[in-house]
Amino acid sequence: MLKIVSGDITKISVDAIVNAANTSLLGGGGVDGAIHRAAGPELLAECRMLHGCKTGQAKITKGYRLPAKYVIHTPGPVWNGGSRGEEELLKSCYESCLKLAAERGCRTVAFPSISTGIYRFPLEKASAVAVRTILSFCQSHPEIEEVQMVCFDERTKGFYDSALQKENILHIEF
Ligand code: ADP
């Protein structure tokens, strides 16, 4: 099941939250900074041992002081006009995170809106890719019981709500 919610991802009690990281995995602004502040310095210490992560891939750590058991770090693509494989890379972020979550036995996962902040990915496109990818992964992996998209502002939530509505309509028609 996919739920679109408003809130702060650092406060969500799920098996794994996803961090919209950068390729260094050494912290940054936006949701990345908030997750590191809330998890405490042990998170950065574990991240240092991972030696970075490529765009579209994912790596997992413990959640330390967060209510979530794990953090899955994924560097999203920077939007460069759309002709540099940005949509495929964003899809790969969601898939890589869900795959890691399933391998670790996670049943509940929460995502932020990857790439739509500092990385400037247009929300309409990003929300369609996110919703479609999550729904299709969960169909073939029933062990993932619930995925939450945690929107930090109402504008973002509006886009994810309509992306989910569109997917639901498509599924009824086919
Ligand atoms: P990126 O570099 O991938 O664009 P950002 O962190 O700049 O990542 O933004 C991604 C999204 O995360 C934006 O919608 C931003 O508003 C949101 N965000 C920022 N802080 C939080 C938080 N604490 N919980 C959930 N989402 C957050």
What pLDDT is recorded for position 142? 95
Distance CA 2, CA 144 (A): 10
Full pLDDT tens readout for the chain, 174 residues: 999 999 999 999 999 999 999 999 999 999 999 999 999 999 999 999 999 999 999 999 999 999 999 999 999 999 999 999 999 999 999 999 999 999 999 999 999 999 999 999 999 999 999 999 999 999 999 999 999 999 999 999 999 999 999 998 877 655
Distance CA 171, CA 99 (A): 23
CA 36 and chain centroid, separation: 15
Phi and psi at 98, nearest 5°, equal: -70, -35
What pLDDT is recorded for position 59? 98
Which residue's C-alpha comes closest to atom 6 of ligand 1? 30
What pLDDT is recorded for position 169? 84
Would you say the CB of residue 119 lies under 6 angstroms from ligand 1? Answer: yes
Can you name the residues that pair with 146 across neighbouring β-strands? 108
What pLDDT is recorded for position 160? 98
Would you say the CB of residue 156 lies under 6 angstroms from ligand 1? Answer: yes
> For residue range 28-53, what is the model confidence (pLDDT) as tens digits?
999 999 999 999 999 999 999 999 99
**C-alpha dist (Å) from residue 149 to 13, 48, 80, 99, 103:** 13, 27, 24, 17, 20
Which residue's C-alpha comes closest to atom 23 of ligand 1? 8
Would you say the CB of residue 118 lies under 6 angstroms from ligand 1? Answer: yes
Distance 29 CA to ligand 1 centre (A): 8
Whole-prediction pTM value?
A: 0.97
The answer for residues whose C-beta is within 8 angstroms of residue 158's C-beta and 6 or more apart is none
To test the ligand 1 pocket, which listed residue (152, 153, 155, 159) has its Cβ within 8 A of the most ligand atoms? 152
What pLDDT is recorded for position 172? 63
Would you say the CB of residue 31 lies under 6 angstroms from ligand 1? Answer: yes
Would you say the CB of residue 30 lies under 6 angstroms from ligand 1? Answer: yes
Residues tagged active-site: 32
